[in-house]
Amino acid sequence: MRYLCLIYDDETLWQGRSKADNDALYGEYSRFTEDTKASGHYLGGNPLTPTHTATTVRIRNGKVTTTDGPFAETKEQLGGYYLIEAKDLNDALQVAARIPAARSGSIEVRPIMSMGTA
């Protein structure tokens, strides 16, 4: 099964940390990515730029509204994702628990809906 691991964390943490600490964390993410590639779990993944770069679009009564920022203000923001292939939820949760942000923020694990049978 495929699962999307959504990484939620307080994005201001990145600014609050020293460069050395941030570099160490980048290193952890690269190692996690390499490990999951080696174990066959990795399908894809990317960090996102901070929420001040976000724009939300919605159409109501046929009219397009475009607004600044994410849909809802929250303490933890969506900061990136990994798309993984896992045997089942237990397997997926074990992978997700190794994402560095699991220690400070949280990882939402969602199965990818399979469309059709082909």
Partner 1 sequence: MLATLIRLLGDFDLAEEAMQEAFTAALRAWQDGVPARPRAWLISTGRFRIIDQLRRRARFDASAGLIAEHLGQQRDNVAPDDLDLPDDQLRLIFTCCHPALSLEAQVALTLREICGLQTEAIAHAYLVPASTLAQRIVRAKAKIRDAGIPYQVPAGHQLTERLGGVLHVVYLVFNAGYSPAAAPLGDADFSGDAIRLGRLLVDLLPTAETLGLLALMLLHDARRAARIDSNGEIVLLADQDRTRWDAERIAEGSALVDAALRNGTAGPYTIQAAIAALHCAASTAGATDWAEIAALYDLLLEIHDTPVVALNRAVAVAMCAGPSAGLALIDQLLAGAELQGYHLAHAARADLCRQLGQTAEALSAYRTAMALVAEGPERRFLARRIAELSPSGTKHG
Site residues, partner 1 (CB under 8 A) = 1, 3, 86-94, 111, 113, 117
Min dist. Cβ of residue 99 to partner 1 (A): 17
Min dist. Cβ of residue 86 to partner 1 (A): 8
Residue type, 107: I
Q: Rounded to the nearest 10 degrees, how much is the dihedral formed by the CA atoms of 6, 11, 15, 17?
A: -60
List CB contacts of 65: < 8 A, sequence separation 6 or more. 57, 58, 59
Output 1 or 24, the one with its CB closest to partner 1: 1
Output 35 or 108, the one with its CB closest to partner 1: 108
Output 16 or 116, the one with its CB closest to partner 1: 116
Rg (the chain; Cα; Å): 16
State the first-to-last Cα distance of the chain, in angstroms, to the nearest integer: 15
Min dist. Cβ of residue 110 to partner 1 (A): 8
Q: How far apart are CA 81 and CA 7, in angstroms?
A: 6
Min dist. Cβ of residue 50 to partner 1 (A): 30
Maximum pairwise Cα distance, the chain: 50
Output 37 or 87, the one with its CB closest to partner 1: 87
